[in-house]
Every structure is written in structure tokens, then in C-alpha cells.
Structure 1
């Protein structure tokens, strides 16, 4: 079937794009990427196929835009945290809290489930998810850790691997239990305990020998 011709760019409206993203997100989370149909998406969004294709040339591009938007919600507070001149322990706890706020949210958990389920058949989805969210978050923390090494606070170590390890450490069982639907929410006090313990373990691991 011939694909509808795109509308003129000048006629595209932000509210239509927002409606498409919101409608598509609902359908993707409900049905998964593979089973989500364009007809279902346009019905949920309240737009025509012509309008949808004017904004997004394919279902893959549409899902990628949803992932990138979700990852931006993860990265924006991390980038705006002003971490350069703060206590390192406080910085780690705050970054960890922001990270958990997003990945443990209902939307974050469901998006993880969809990406994991579809990644074997649609590997580009998994790549976009990783490169838009986890990779930049690790790069941000890695750069911060490098400044602390150069300031003489810690011993020399692989900052990138350490940053990845920190985010894995704080997610841990809490994220896994949410993904498996064992828990539907995590007690905020438990989260603060996880963060405090994770920061202590992490800081001990990168401490200079003469400070241990």
C-alpha cells in the first residue's frame, strides 16, 4: 500500500507531534513494539496516518523518538545537578537518586520491559536505548570522577567502568524486582538506604591506599 505523502513541514504543529508520541507510547507499552500497529497508534493519538508520517517516517523512528525523549528525562537532571564543586559522597547519592527516580518510575519500568522483549528481533531499539540513556549517564559520571582523581581525592582507576558499575550497583535488586513485577514500588526509605550503602562501597573501592 502506498505510504501517505508527508505534509509540508511548515504545517506541522508541536501539539500533533506530542499527541503522536503520547499515543504511540501508550500502544507500545500495551502491545509491545512488534505487535503495535500504525492504525492503533493513529487512533490512540487522534491523528491521521498522513500526519503521523509527516513527523515520523517509520514505526522504528517513532519508537526511537520515544526512547530518546525518555532518556532525556533521565539525563537532564543529571546534567543540571551542578556536580563539579560538591562533596563526592553527596554527589553520588544525589545522582543515584535522580537515576532511580526515572528507571523505577512506572513508565521507565515498562519501557525497559518493551526494549528487552523486542531487542532480539529489533536490535536497533536496544542500541538507541543504551546510547541515548545509559551511555551518556556513565560518561557524565566518568568525567566527574576524572576531575576528582586529578584533584588528588582518589587513586587512579578506570573512570568509565567505575561509573557504569556505580549505576549498576544502585539499580541492583530493586530494579530487577520491579521489572519482574515482584514489587510495584520501592519504599523511599529503602532507596535512601541503598544509595547510602552503594556510595560507601563505591568510595571505599576507589579510595587512595593512604586514606583507607
Structure 2
């Protein structure tokens, strides 16, 4: 998961730096975020900031990793894995969509895409710690459901790629291209339900 991230030295004010950097990146973007602004927002010295992160790119990658992991862990805590696949997958889909459409998810996605030609490691780091990490966790669940006889899947990698894409139907492009700037729970529930219905029509036991 962390192949794109160098070893980072952590200290007493590490979380403080991450919190401040997150606010600045979300507000100003990658280019607009200066080390001075981040240090000021985090209420630390530049020397403290540089003691943790060698440059702004490494800091951005750690911000993305930290928030993606936090949201994934929170989503897992809310899902009862003993429920039938329809319930588990609907909950997982809704959690994924809330991340896709959160201010953080949208802003980090846009930054990673905008900077991918100059700093491809930013895009790779977001992919490894966001979509790829969610994919690994989904595969773990799918394997367990197959073992229980709840699902029948020949190509589990393909299935794990398909479900998140089904969750992006209709809403994702509207958000990315500025057609809408937010969505209701009813809209999210509609897409999640349709995604799971289609998924289970193919892979349900």
C-alpha cells in the first residue's frame, strides 16, 4: 500500500501537521499551498514540518493516505459482515459513494489528476491508498462470501473492479464536471441499490 511513500519520521506534532496540511490543501490546492501557510495553519515551525516531511509532495501523499485510511476504517466499523451480501454490499457502496462525493474525496481526486503530468507519484499514491486499498478490502469480503456459498465469482479481480464503477453511475460525472455540487442520501441510496442489484444478478449464489 505504501510503495509510493518514503519512510516518515513521526513525532509529537505529526498529527497536528497532517491536520493543518489537510485544511490548506483542501482550501488552496496543491500549487496554492505553501509550506509557510501549512506551518502557520498547523501552528508549528517550518523546521518542525521539515523534520517530518522532506517536501510538499511527500506531505500531500501522507495527507491522502491518512484520510483514505481513516474513512475506510470508519466505514468497516459500521458494517456488520455477518449480514446477507445484499446488506453488506449496499452499506459498502454507500460508504464508497460518500467518500467519492465528500469535499476531501473530490478535492484530492482533482489535485491528483491536475498534477499527474508533473508529479505522477501524487496520482499513484492516491490510487494505492484510496481506490486500491478499498479494492483489497472488498476482495477480502468477497472471498469470505464465496467461501460461505453466498456468492459465485470466477474472476474476483474483475468483480472487485466492477462494483465501485457501478457506484459512479450518473452522479460521479455530474460532480466532477460541476453539474451538481452535492447529493442527497436518497440519490446515493438509489445508485447503491441499483449497483448491488446488478452485481448480485451476476454473482449471487
Name which of 178, 191, 204 aligns with 2:201.
Answer: 204
Name which of 7, 29, 32 aligns with 2:26.
Answer: 29
CA 1:25 to 1:199, structure 2 compared with 1: closer, same or farther past 3 Å? same
State the match for 1:144 in structure 2: 141
Q: What's the secondary structure of 2:183's corresponding residue? A: coil
Matched length? 197
**Bigger radius of gyration among the two:** 1
State the match for 1:43 in structure 2: 40
1:42-61 equivalences in 2 (<5 Å): 42-61=39-58
Query: What does the per-residue CA deviation read over 1:22-81, in whole Å, with 9 as the maximum and x for residues that have no partner?
Result: 332233233332443222322333321111112222212211110011111231034334
Task: Give me the TM-score of the superposition, normalised by structure 2.
Answer: 0.85
Contact 2:79–2:88 (8 Å) recurs in 1: no
Supply the distance in 1 between the matched residues of 2:79 and 2:146 (Cα, whole angstroms).
18
Supply the distance in 2 between the matched residues of 1:92 and 1:73 (Cα, whole angstroms).
19
Contact 1:27–1:44 (8 Å) recurs in 2: yes
Name which of 56, 67, 80 aligns with 1:70.
Answer: 67
State the match for 1:85 in structure 2: 82
Contact 2:21–2:41 (8 Å) recurs in 1: yes
1:82-161 equivalences in 2 (<5 Å): 83-161=80-158
- Give ranges in structure 2 of 5+ residues lacking alignment: 1-8
Question: Which of 190-199 and 20-29 deviates more?
Answer: 20-29
Q: Which is bigger in relative contact order (C-alpha 8 A, separation at least 6)?
A: 2
